[in-house]
């Protein structure tokens, strides 16, 4: 356990659950269940997953819930956050997948776009 003291607030007393079982059996179980529901709803709305039939040569990837209590600068709880993460480290290239692609932008790319927008007096949506 890491102990951090900021603004005279001891954050070590606020341990986040490490497992799903800990989250749903904690005193904040209703808030963690809400956070889980929010995450699953977000995943459904964004269509980030697709259910497929498992074939004989497929090896399913496990997943894990990660729980985090979000706080403001004074240490007050802003919200409870849950994320479902895939255990992709169990995969082997050319066996479980062929290639990966994740469209991400960098800060530099964002700055270039904003400079172009400003230079040509454009409106960005």
Position 52 scores a pLDDT of 82
- Say if residue 4 is exposed, middle or buried (CB neighbours under 10 Å; 0-12, 13-18, 19+): exposed
Residues in the chain: 125
| Contacts for 97 with CB less than 8 Å, ≥ 6 apart | 91
Position 23 scores a pLDDT of 94
Each residue's pLDDT tens digit, 1-39? 444 455 555 555 568 999 999 999 999 999 999 999 999
**DSSP state letter for 81:** E
More confident: 90 or 112 = 112
Each residue's pLDDT tens digit, 31-70? 999 999 999 999 999 988 887 888 887 778 889 999 999 9
Q: Are 62 and 16 in contact (CB under 8 A)?
A: no
Q: Are 102 and 58 in contact (CB under 8 A)?
A: no
Position 1 scores a pLDDT of 44
| Contacts for 93 with CB less than 8 Å, ≥ 6 apart | none
Q: Are 75 and 9 in contact (CB under 8 A)?
A: yes
Position 98 scores a pLDDT of 73
């Amino acid at each position: 356990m890491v102990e951090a003291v900021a603004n005279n607030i001891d954050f070590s007393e606020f341990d986040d659950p490490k497992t799903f079982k800990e989250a749903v059996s904690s005193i904040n179980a209703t808030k963690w269940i809400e956070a889980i529901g929010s995450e699953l709803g977000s995943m459904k709305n964004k269509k980030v997953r697709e259910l497929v039939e498992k074939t004989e040569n497929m090896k399913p990837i496990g997943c894990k819930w990660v729980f985090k209590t979000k706080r403001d600068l004074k240490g007050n709880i802003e919200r409870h956050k849950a994320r479902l993460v895939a255990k992709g480290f169990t995969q082997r290239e050319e066996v479980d997948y062929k290639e990966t692609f994740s469209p991400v932008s960098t800060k530099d790319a964002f700055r270039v776009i904003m400079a172009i927008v400003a230079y040509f007096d454009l409106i960005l949506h």
